[in-house]
Chain A
């Protein structure tokens, strides 16, 4: 028995000292379910080409934040995670993330990384998150229905008046065909697809640093009027009023919706799951002209104090290579490196180019309380959009949301 223990100790010592620095290390990474298409592919590709390995866990969208919080409290957090970019400020504020400023700035292509990601990844002038995956909001239209309605199927609407007019023409086809669709009770969907209408017209809902809510603007009211008028004319299915996001994509994919605001993810999803739908992609337009987009996606963040930082860096380097960016693009994420985006997308559906262009100019609101303000199903933004699109008291709803949002911002922990 003593002999055996001695042998084991010796073996352990040899393993520990002999292989030492050369030993392959495994880093654990989490991603939310939205990334379940591209993340396993890029991790596989990395693992095949490197001695160091990545172990990937895919976590349901709604659970990744509480689960990560619990894991961090128990000391079992992953070494890094691909995090919905809007959460980066609040994670950084909580002191949960490793400061990667020096490393980020040493990357030769740092300047061409998606600016929206880098902005949300920066907290008090330090960088805690770098872009990983990207999704931009766009407007999609059903070419078959446009043709049936006597519209030019190759020309999507370029301003608000055209959206309303085209939706009305498609709606006139009758039966179960409707002109327009949006998820009317989903805060996350509408920050993604509705606020770009406001941005493109020169307005905004939050100040640049997220310290002031600026809801009461003519641009917001104008965009509300556009949606309200379409609801009033019955161009929108009745279910939109209570859709908490479940039909955000599915409604258009069923093939009887003329126009719907959506995201770049829809291109991949429609091409693979609904190849029969003939659709066009264009920008989310401003009132008269111009366009804008919500730059969404994930930031790559590193858990504070992890010992696997070299592995994590090596993995992110790989993701930023042309090979990595091409894999991401092929399986549903837009490239996050502007300088090689065109090259990464060159063999893919040309409609991605529109989305990539939208991404490059995309905006992301900055707030440490984004979840409370916008995404929460019971937050002020979700309540307001439902009231202003379908209710009777637009002024009251805007005033109420403005007040609630400002008080949530003011009560947020100041660190």
Chain B
């Protein structure tokens, strides 16, 4: 960092400019493999998606260019906008739920105390399970006839008739929230813990000497100094939730009564159930734009304020 700053602020001279240019070429060489990966696996597919979105492109048969026809159709596609509304609702709820669970966990495992490593591992474990496998596990746990929750409550005499958790919206939705929090909170906890540990201890001690209580210290020192960590955790959580699909597909099939269809689920349905690949591509582009915009807004909201390092 220091070298680059020195190079750019030094007075320009022909010799140094040539050196800088060579350095830049070497730099480009170093990042070339990464650039190649991004081009091949991100930019080209993205370009193809954009190209397909301008076509009527069935899974089978001929495709034809229709300009912005797919995008016009999206404007009238109420089921997509409903799916998007549900996705937004889910994202807000699940992000809050994850932070409400992960922040206390991070505070709990941050300081060295007996068995800290055990706790950290325990809380983190579900994060290493894939979403699909976790969904399969929970769809068994939630099954009313042969699962765990409902039959256990029935056998313990807590309820007098087995209750199908997945049959109506509220219990089904909150079951998914519980599953996602169980699966993701450990990962968010690790990110937040790293942020907490990067706060210099002397700041906290100085505040204690000045007579600040724990809440004041948390609000005036911990939170501001964790801005960037929070931004990272927030963007990961929001982006992940907007792209949610596996759990709703595997556990609920978009039910009960299509009330839990997410945006990605709708794209999947249009592409691989209705075989309209072009339309699915157009929907993906719309979702991409929304996602990029949201991430920019979050980065701007959590940008580094002036005078704070």
Q: Which residues of A contact B (CB under 8 A)?
A: 65-66, 68-70, 72-73, 90-91, 94-96, 185, 237-239, 241-242, 244, 369, 371-372, 376-379, 383, 386-387, 390-391, 413
Contact = CB atoms under 8 A, between A and B. Distances in A.
Given A96-B60, A239-B144, A69 B273 contact: no
Interface of B: 58-62, 143-146, 161-164, 166-167, 253-258, 261, 265, 269, 272-275
A18 B182 CA distance: 69
A387 to B, nearest CB: 6
Of listed B162, B166, B255, residue having the most chain A CB within 10 A: B255
A106 B72 CA distance: 49
Nearest to A185: B255
Nearest to A371: B273
Contact of A378 (B62, B163, B261): B261
Given A237-B145, A239-B145, A96 B61 contact: yes
17 contacts: A65-B275, A70-B59, A73-B60, A185-B255, A238-B144, A238-B162, A238-B167, A239-B164, A372-B273, A376-B273, A376-B274, A378-B254, A378-B258, A378-B261, A379-B273, A383-B257, A391-B257
Nearest to B269: A378
Nearest to B266: A378
A237 B154 CA distance: 14
B257 A386 contact: yes
Nearest to A96: B60
Secondary structure class of chain B's binding surface, majority of residues: loop
Contacts of A377: 253-255
A372 B143 CA distance: 27
Given A238-B145, A379-B273, A383-B258, 13 more contacts: A69-B275, A91-B60, A95-B61, A239-B144, A241-B164, A241-B167, A372-B274, A377-B253, A377-B254, A377-B255, A378-B254, A386-B256, A390-B167
Contacts of B269: 376, 378
Contacts of A237: 145
Of listed B161, B162, B275, residue having the most chain A CB within 10 A: B275
Contacts of B256: 242, 386
B253 A69 contact: no
A387 B60 contact: no
A242 B257 contact: no
B253 A94 contact: no
Contacts of A68: 60
